[in-house]
Structure 1
Amino acid sequence: MNYYQHHIGDFRAGTFTMGRLERWLYRDMMDMYYDTEKPLPLDHEMVFYTLGTTDEQERTAVERLLKFKFQKTTEGYVHERCDSEIRAFHDKAEKASAAGKASAASRTTKKPTDVEQGGNVGSTDVQRPSTNHKPLTNNHKNKTLSAQSPDAPRDTGEQGDDEDKERRKQRRSTPEDEACARWLFGRILANNPGHKPPSFEAWSEDVRLMRERDRRTHREICELFSWAQDDEFWKANVLSPSKLREKWDQLTIKRGTPQKGTKHGNFSAQDYRAGVSADGKF
């Protein structure tokens, strides 16, 4: 495919923990995925060569992205969001093609005559407009408009897209709330790589509640959750934003008395980058 929609808000929410180099390489890797419509090769050297990564820093960043943002399978490194966009692209192309063929067949099988239009056979007023003529639809406008074009009219029958838009309208959480929720999940993965991905919509709402009702900042939320994940007891008992909110006061008191073997100190930008989520989405 030579065209896909780039959702700026989703991309920023899924990459806010990355540095500029990782964000740039991540976009290149997705372009490579869309261009070939295939999973990225399991051979890292082939990925390096295709992306043009030459120095060690870039190669390390690519390997990190393959680990955290793609899922390794026998066919290669797959990306759920890319696969979804590719399927939607082909579905839309097939619907547009079917609609075009149906419209052409309809025009071929039915050509109104002067008698059907209510006129006299011998009438010379051949330019008189037909009262039975149906209004033009989008299918009549430009038959050369490709389904691959970004300007092609959307199929209003795509119920899934409408439902997705409606859910987005009803959501009160922000992209930053979702990014924070995804960071929290990335912190859990640091302790348990096989942890089941949660509902990020629900997690984002819990983050929003802490931010709006409890007056917590995203930084404070991440700091306290990070501390809990470093504590031998709390890392198994605080595994969601809702539980963090419920135990906030207890954790805050406990955090004030550092225990042996736990990390306690200022939360740095490096800590943020260490928690890049690995759910395979933005």
Structure 2
Amino acid sequence: MNYYEHHIGDYAEATAHLTFIEDATYSRLIRKYYATEKPLPNEIKLVQRLINARSKEEKNAVVSVLNEFFTLTDDGWRQERCDHEIARFKDKQLKARRSAEGRWQPLPSDEPQPEITPSNACVRNATAMRTHCSPDTKHQSPVTNLHTPGKQNNGGEKEKIPQGPPTPTDEEKVFQGRIEKYKSFAAMISREGRAIAVDDYRIRDIVNLGVTEDEVAEAIATAKETRMKVSNPTPINAGYVLAILKGARKKAEAASADEDAWWKTNEGIDAKGRELAMKAQGSESYESFKTRIFTELRKRKERAETKEKSNAS
């Protein structure tokens, strides 16, 4: 891509809270993204090298911007808006190519050529599609009894009256629920900050996070409080709210992961031992007890896999 649309208003709203260097870093990252038409490398050092980030402040800005505006995947650091614009660009290219190919594509040799006569004036246009332009084309006479009460077109039988509206499917219910969330979140942000359209991609991203109205309200309050602390009069925007929600979600996921990491604390090791009906032996250290627990877990997993394979065979 040698060209991409830069929506100044959208960009300004999403990046209003960034420092000067972070803003410049984000701009360089998305330009590189569009130029290569693919995600940025997984390794942050390679990303820093790609945009020539040399000083410590510049390198730190790369880390901050990646974590806030990009998502780390197996393919690399992805940016949803960039992916959307690249897909739209490629779709336009494909449609233009197909249109050009179809416009001048000749007819197959075995297809009979239409004769141009007064009674059947068919011609070919540049799209290789037939257009019927005969002045003798007969139109069907209008039927006047189509809307006669209690009648049908074919013989005057009474219409069957539908027994109420059809029950919506589960997919339709889910879709309607998402539409309601779009409207609700857009209204909440518009009331407290900058107005935003229901179909804005940032509203879609907020909905995709699976957050509730309470979480959005809390993020809005956090955004307003943060702006007040630094005496920033700029109204909050959807990009800032989205960034706060993403940060809160990451913290929640990290906290959940820490809770599951039973081996990190003595209390967790004791709890796991009780769960497996295991006890520390005499003056056994927690490190040794933890090793025995891991060994027992591995054995149980192997037994379960062996049993599953035997059942399958």
Query: Could you say which TM-score interval applies, normalised by the shorter chain?
Result: 0.3 to 0.5
The higher relative CO (CA closer than 8 Å, separation ≥ 6) is in 1
TM-score, normalising length from structure 2? 0.42
Report the structure number with the largest CA radius of gyration: 2
